Amino acid sequence: MAHILISYRRSDSDVFAGRIRDKIADKFGADSVFMDIDNIPFGRDFRTHIREALGTSDVVIVVVGNRWLGGAKKSGAARILEETDPVRIEVETALQKGIPVIPILAGDARMPEPGQLPDTLKNFAFINAATVDTGRDFHPHMERVIRSIEAIIEGRPDEPPTPTATAKPAALPKRKSWRPSRTTWMAAGAAVVVLGAVAAFWAPDMIEFWNNRPAWCRYAAYEVEKAICAERTFFGRDRRLNEKYALLLQKKPENAAALRKEQAEWLAKRNLCSGSDRDCIYRAYDMRLAELDSQLKAAGN
């Protein structure tokens, strides 16, 4: 059974976090989704309580609204900077344990800047977040999040949906025969000549483009995948990334299971990018390439 924990600040996104919980529970079952782990028994160290609650979690959803940092107290500091802040401890613990974290931005909320966070949480600012609309687009946005959760839990990249059969189109009515005039034939011939010249000019470039696309592009189903397959810069990065990943598997076969899980988690986060958000796609690839380069260097390559 999956174990999905939802972290949120009550004063920031109580109702919205409840909607997210219900949507995820519809997919994975109510027993798989956990909230309100800060209901701590009297006399118990809440740090220990939170660590134990997170111990079996497959993924942690962090709901970020416009007041996620927490209101400042008399000291003037936001609550997230306090060592006793339960939200801080939840996210800190998940990052320390290496549990996959998916931030969900409520509506127009933004991820916090590194300078707004304590040192132990600065990495949270660089995690790719999913924006979920609080209005009519809530459900389609959450479907994207759920696909990423599935990929993380199953330790595999997202798979494109199985195409469904479509009904045969209705037969068109027969049209009367038509004989083209001499002028029409001449115009058609001129068009063929022009198209032939254009094709001769562009064909080599197009052939090179299609030959260099990753093989998985023929199965591209998500918006971000189609964007990657449509641009040389993106699929060039994808090719380099897969070459480095394959080399790392070859160098460290004893770590194959952990590497595959890590790669699946990265793919799930990459797929949260919108196809029109070029910066998000660039960041996802550049961060993963840097991680693989670091691991290859440590492996002696």
Calculate mean pLDDT across residues 50-76.
83
What is the reported pTM? 0.54
Domain(s) of CATH 3.40.50.10140: residues in the chain: 4-154
**Nearest alpha carbon to residue 97 among 71, 126, 60, 134:** 60
170 pLDDT tier (thresholds 50, 70, 90): low
Q: What is the pLDDT of residue 301?
A: 62
Superfamily the domain 4-154 falls into: Toll/interleukin-1 receptor homology (TIR) domain (3.40.50.10140)
Q: What is the three-state SS of 179-219? A: CCCHHHHHHHHHHHHHHHHHHHHHHHHHHHHHHHCCHHHHH
- CA 261 to CA 52: how far, in whole Å? 22
Q: What is the pLDDT of residue 17?
A: 92
DSSP state of 11: H
- CA 98 to CA 106: how far, in whole Å? 24
113 pLDDT tier (thresholds 50, 70, 90): very high
Distances (CA, A) of 187 to 179, 191, 196: 14, 6, 14
Q: What is the pLDDT of residue 40?
A: 66
Residue/partner pairs of 210-215 with CB below 8 Å, 24 or more apart: 212/236, 212/239, 214/238, 214/239, 214/242
- CA 15 to CA 19: how far, in whole Å? 7
Calculate mean pLDDT across residues 239-268.
85
Q: What is the pLDDT of residue 54?
A: 82
Partners of residue 62 on adjacent β-strands: 7, 103
- What are the pLDDT digits (tens) for 199-208? 555 445 545 5
